[in-house]
């Protein structure tokens, strides 16, 4: 019998960012074209959202920028839609008082650098974001402390080997 990995054990592989747990690598591998994954900040209701279907992956203690960089290095974003990235929009009261979400610029910089072009990003109202998250393949609960740090990524496709 072949054992690929044991739960909660680190696996070291060449060219695989060590921040990605075996559970998260498995999720990324099993996701198909059009499936979505949430990288959730520390305030996101990850456990309750995951009761609706998405797998819950724990990445406690990790910030989203480091995880995002590792995920987009391995997972292609969907090129068949104009905005394969979604961010939770500020609630009206936070907009009215001028609250900013500087982490969004960091996310865009990471994604655009990895993709080699500007990627479309949509802002999704808070409760619509929660509903969309319930339909995602997985929710990754992180230790990210930035407000409005939640991000959804939609998986794309890889071209055949001879077209690369």
Which positions are catalytic? 33, 78, 130
Q: By C-alpha distance, which of 23, 7, 117, 133 is closest to 72? A: 117
DSSP codes, 120-143: PEEEE-HHHHHHHHHTSSEEEEE-
120 phi/psi in degrees, rounded to 5: -70, 140
| 104, 144 Cβ separation under 8 angstroms | no
**Neighbouring-strand partners of residue 36:** 154
**Distance separating alpha carbons of residues 42 and 89, to the nearest angstrom:** 16
Give the count of beta carbons closer than 10 Å to the beta carbon of residue 29.
9
Three-class secondary structure of residue 42 per DSSP: coil
């Amino acid at each position: 019998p072949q054992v690929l990995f044991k739960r909660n054990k680190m696996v070291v592989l060449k060219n695989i960012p060590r921040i990605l747990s075996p559970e998260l690598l498995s999720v990324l591998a099993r996701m198909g074209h059009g499936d979505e994954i949430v990288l959730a900040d520390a305030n996101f209701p990850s456990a309750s959202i995951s009761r609706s279907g998405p797998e819950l992956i724990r990445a406690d203690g990790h910030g989203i920028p480091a995880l995002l960089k590792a995920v987009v290095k391995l997972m292609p974003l969907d090129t068949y839609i104009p905005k394969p990235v979604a961010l939770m929009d500020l609630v009206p009261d936070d907009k009215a008082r001028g609250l900013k979400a500087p982490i969004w610029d960091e996310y865009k910089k990471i994604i655009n650098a990895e993709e080699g072009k500007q990627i479309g990003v949509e802002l999704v109202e808070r409760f619509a974001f929660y509903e969309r998250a319930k339909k995602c393949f997985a929710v990754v609960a992180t230790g990210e402390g930035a407000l409005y740090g939640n991000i959804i990524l939609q998986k794309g496709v890889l071209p055949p080997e001879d077209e690369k």
